[in-house]
């Protein structure tokens, strides 16, 4: 923990000006065409936070000696009960467009959570890495989804806060609760040094769990991507190397709405990614068929007990 704080102090001056200037102005045409349709009705399926729910620090103490499936079960229970910060219920618009010839371009808005899944309140929360099954189960229950790599890039480019990645030494401890807590402390120290409040669209501090066509032929894997450096180059190229149970401190699950706005009109994410005319705006792979079915298949595989 002390090492993380020391690291943050060392980079504070170098990154303060860059990060505070990271908010970008979206093209005037996109704003004029679609406005900001990301209202709170998109997160109405997230339960109200229970009055007796533990805060981030209390929950961190509860799982301190846990690892593996015991920790994952408790994390999933807390997420599904609605023990998430209020700021995660206020999705932020991310603007993309198709790249076609002539006047056939379409402006799209994806509504994304401002940060990764976390447990606790706005004042006391723990950014929590999760297994793919937990991310997908939570997303499905809340009528949300995981992003594609292209959406991850757009979120980073348009983020109001672009954190500097802070990798920790590799090894078996990467999957430990202690590493989860240590990395969270480093991120919060950087946030405090910058003087920015949670709830702003933020990126650069975690790798993303993503949806990709590669998962159709790797249903027992997790796809991860991102952790961008200043300028947008990802530390982690798209990878399906790890099994679906794998999770380490660097992972984050950012949820997005299952509703996308195309030229101001609502469309289902599942439909847009299956539309050859629109999919390229959201996916560098082009069409991703039946995202909803893919998520259901991945959860079904995860539900099969290990041999």
Answer whether residue 10 shows pLDDT above 50: no
Place of tokens 């991850």: 152
Calculate Rg over the CA atoms of the chain: 19
pLDDT value at residue 302: 76
Answer whether residue 141 shows pLDDT above 90: yes
Q: Give CA torsion, residues 186, 192, 195, 198, to 10 deg.
A: 80
97-106, 168-177, 232-241, 266-275: which range is least confident on average? Answer: 97-106
Name the DSSP letter for residue 52.
T
Task: Give tens-digit pLDDT for 180-193.
Answer: 999 999 999 999 99
Long-range contacts for 268-272 (Cβ within 8 Å, ≥24 apart)?
A: 269/110, 269/145, 272/108
pLDDT value at residue 275: 96
pLDDT value at residue 173: 94
pLDDT value at residue 102: 56
pLDDT value at residue 8: 38
Task: Give tens-digit pLDDT for 14-51.
Answer: 333 333 333 333 333 333 344 679 999 999 999 999 99
Closest residue by Cα to residue 252 from 228, 229, 224: 224
> What value does the mean pLDDT take over residues 198-209?
97
Task: Give tens-digit pLDDT for 237-267.
Answer: 999 999 999 999 999 999 999 999 999 999 9
pTM of the model: 0.88
Cα 253 vs. chain centroid, distance in angstroms?
Answer: 4
Answer whether residue 6 shows pLDDT above 50: no
Residue 222's CB: how many other CB atoms inside 10 A?
24
Q: Which residues contact 197 (CB under 8 A, 6 or more apart)?
A: none
CA dist., res. 91 & res. 57, Å (int): 25
pLDDT above 90 as % of the chain: 80
- Widest CA span of the chain, in angstroms? 59
Q: Where are the domains of the chain?
A: 2-302
């Amino acid at each position: 923990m002390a090492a993380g704080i020391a690291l943050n102090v060392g980079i504070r001056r170098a990154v303060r000006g860059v990060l505070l200037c990271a908010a970008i102005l979206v093209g005037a045409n996109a704003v004029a065409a679609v406005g900001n349709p990301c209202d709170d009705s998109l997160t109405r399926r997230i339960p109200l936070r229970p009055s007796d729910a533990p805060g981030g620090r209390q929950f961190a103490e509860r799982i301190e000696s846990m690892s593996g499936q015991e920790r994952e079960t408790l994390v999933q229970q807390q997420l599904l009960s609605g023990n998430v910060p209020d700021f995660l219920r206020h999705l932020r618009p991310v603007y993309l467009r198709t790249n076609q010839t002539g006047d056939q371009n379409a402006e799209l808005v994806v509504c994304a959570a401002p940060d990764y899944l976390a447990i606790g309140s706005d004042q006391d929360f723990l950014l929590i890495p999760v297994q793919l099954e937990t991310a997908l189960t939570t997303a499905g229950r809340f009528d949300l989804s995981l992003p594609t790599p292209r959406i991850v890039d757009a979120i980073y480019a348009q983020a109001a806060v672009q954190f500097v990645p802070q990798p920790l030494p590799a090894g078996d401890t990467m999957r430990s609760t202690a590493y989860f807590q240590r990395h969270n402390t480093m991120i919060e120290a950087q946030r405090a040094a910058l003087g920015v409040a949670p709830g702003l669209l933020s990126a650069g501090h975690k790798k993303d769990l993503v949806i990709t066509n590669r998962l159709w032929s790797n249903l027992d894997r997790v796809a991860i991507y991102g952790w961008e450096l200043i300028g947008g180059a990802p530390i982690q190229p798209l990878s399906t190397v790890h099994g679906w149970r794998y999770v380490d401190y660097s992972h984050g699950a950012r949820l997005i709405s299952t509703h996308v706005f195309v030229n101001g009109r609502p469309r289902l994410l599942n439909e847009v990614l299956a539309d050859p005319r629109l999919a390229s705006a959201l996916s560098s792979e082009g069409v991703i068929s039946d995202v909803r079915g893919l998520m259901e298949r991945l959860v079904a595989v995860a539900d099969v007990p290990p041999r």
